[in-house]
Amino acid sequence: MPSVATTSEIPLLPSASKPLPLTTSTQGLQSIADKHITKGLGRLRDHVFKEGKGVRVLTTENEKLLDFTSGIGVTSLGHAHPDVTAAIVAQAQSIIHVQCAIGLSEPYVQLVESLLTMMPDPSLDSFFFWNSGSEAIEAAIKVTRTKTKRNNIVVMQGGYHGRTSGAAALTRSKTSFFKGTGPLMPCVYTTSFPYWHAMGLPKDTPEEVLVEQAILGIENLLQQQTAPEDTAAIFLEPVIGEGGYVPTPPAYIKHLRQLCDKHGIMLVVDEIQTGFCRTGKTFAIEHSGVKPDLMVFAKGFANGMPISGIVTRSEIMSAMQPGSLGGTYSGNVVACAAALATTRYMRTHDILGHVNARSEQIFKGLREIQADTENGGWMIEEVRGQGLMIAMEFKDPNSKLTRNHSRGDISLPGNLNKLVQDACYDRGLLVLTTSIYPVLRLIPALILSEDEVDEMLSVMKEAIREVAKGVEGK
């Protein structure tokens, strides 16, 4: 290949003789962020990350943190996994941008080849890649409406599908994602999700009863609000993520499948957070044995590079006219190379066995903490989740369902999850909250070791004990 123009052909400006005046101090960086980065971004803290390896991150102030966030389920093989880094470097040295409407690239096509072997059902055989999860949701809306020639979309109470206009219209986990920006896309209908707290039912309500209630809800919805003949799709997260880490009961998913089959509605499964081994199966929908009509994925399959996608049956995708899907960066070739390396690792290692073993270890440890009522366990209402998507819901004075406790008349704060999150942070453990309920979630890299889980559990135990002491006024 001929080389590009050299600096001798493009004259230097005087500014080239001095280093660019860029800030490096932590305080300086924080001050620029404070003044010049939108307040529309929520941020846990203003720490500045410098390095990440595996499940550890290092800040510019040399704080070493154990990362149980994986950047919200993205760095599934851990920060800077050598196989993925090598693939990114090699690809960046070859070609960085191949515009998808101009031509194909080897990593893009090979990624399709690799993904075909991982699908929950061989009928899912036609792909489109985009950059973010929200964009892939936009594509899913477009495909379902085009194929069915219907407008209406049904979503779950508590569901989260993103922040772009169409995706935000489908989001039901928190109003903060779209407050004040309406009107959003119309024709979206909300049905109840089988989660005891959202349904206003006690925690020990049997799953069959929750499912019965949810089924009643959607049957009514299809008779009273959106006729099946007008309904293009039902969107579902197999584990509701931003809604509180609640796995969808398989019986409910099976019922949705039957409804969709009966009425020609498309079942769209959003695996953006749950996909690629996160829940102990390659895709979380496999826990139910149900075949989706269309699946949306992102996050964990490129270990940090921005790429998302949808997959459906060729017969459905063939409804799309050339040019109806696309985007300047759609399926970026470096991101495809990273995804290829990540999926190659997943296909050549017993990652599912490992995820299930670590999941069991975390559930056991958290349930022991919960059972230790003398050291704060009484504050935990429920430990739940699937695979390495695990949450604790704490007691809440504002909820009649969770405010009762065994500690006499002490007054409960409404933010136990945040207090525990802060206490974890003070001990070097990074964890996230989620949902409108006091929920703390753990979503670590899939490759974390047994020792790293033990380390997290011992920090969590101490953090909960300390918060309980404060609440109990000891």
Ligand X SMILES: Cc1ncc(COP(=O)(O)O)c(C=O)c1O
- Positions in the binding site for ligand X (CB under 6 A): 72, 132-134, 137, 160-162, 237, 241, 270, 272-273, 298
Cβ proximity to ligand X, 108 vs 130, nearer residue: 130
One-letter identity of residue 112? V
Shortest distance in whole angstroms from residue 253 CB to ligand X: 15
One-letter identity of residue 163? R
Cβ proximity to ligand X, 377 vs 444, nearer residue: 444
Shortest distance in whole angstroms from residue 272 CB to ligand X: 4
425 close to 45: Cβ distance less than 8 angstroms: yes
Shortest distance in whole angstroms from residue 108 CB to ligand X: 19
What gap in Å lies between CA 351 and CA 320, rounded to an integer?
36
Cβ proximity to ligand X, 241 vs 376, nearer residue: 241
What gap in Å lies between CA 382 and CA 422, rounded to an integer?
20
Q: Which residue of this chain has its Cβ atom nearest to ligand X in the complex? A: 133
Shortest distance in whole angstroms from residue 9 CB to ligand X: 41
417 close to 438: Cβ distance less than 8 angstroms: yes
Cβ proximity to ligand X, 255 vs 278, nearer residue: 278
What gap in Å lies between CA 160 and CA 170, rounded to an integer?
7
Shortest distance in whole angstroms from residue 161 CB to ligand X: 5
Shortest distance in whole angstroms from residue 216 CB to ligand X: 25
222 close to 231: Cβ distance less than 8 angstroms: yes
What gap in Å lies between CA 227 and CA 382, rounded to an integer?
37
Shortest distance in whole angstroms from residue 131 CB to ligand X: 8
203 close to 402: Cβ distance less than 8 angstroms: yes
Cβ proximity to ligand X, 278 vs 395, nearer residue: 278
308 close to 272: Cβ distance less than 8 angstroms: yes
What gap in Å lies between CA 130 and CA 330, rounded to an integer?
4
What gap in Å lies between CA 333 and CA 11, rounded to an integer?
31
Shortest distance in whole angstroms from residue 426 CB to ligand X: 26
Output 252-256 pairs: Cβ under 8 A, ≥24 positions apart: 252/194, 252/211, 252/214, 252/215, 253/285, 253/288, 253/290, 254/288, 254/289, 254/290, 255/211, 255/215, 255/218, 256/218, 256/290
Cβ proximity to ligand X, 275 vs 365, nearer residue: 275
What gap in Å lies between CA 89 and CA 75, rounded to an integer?
17
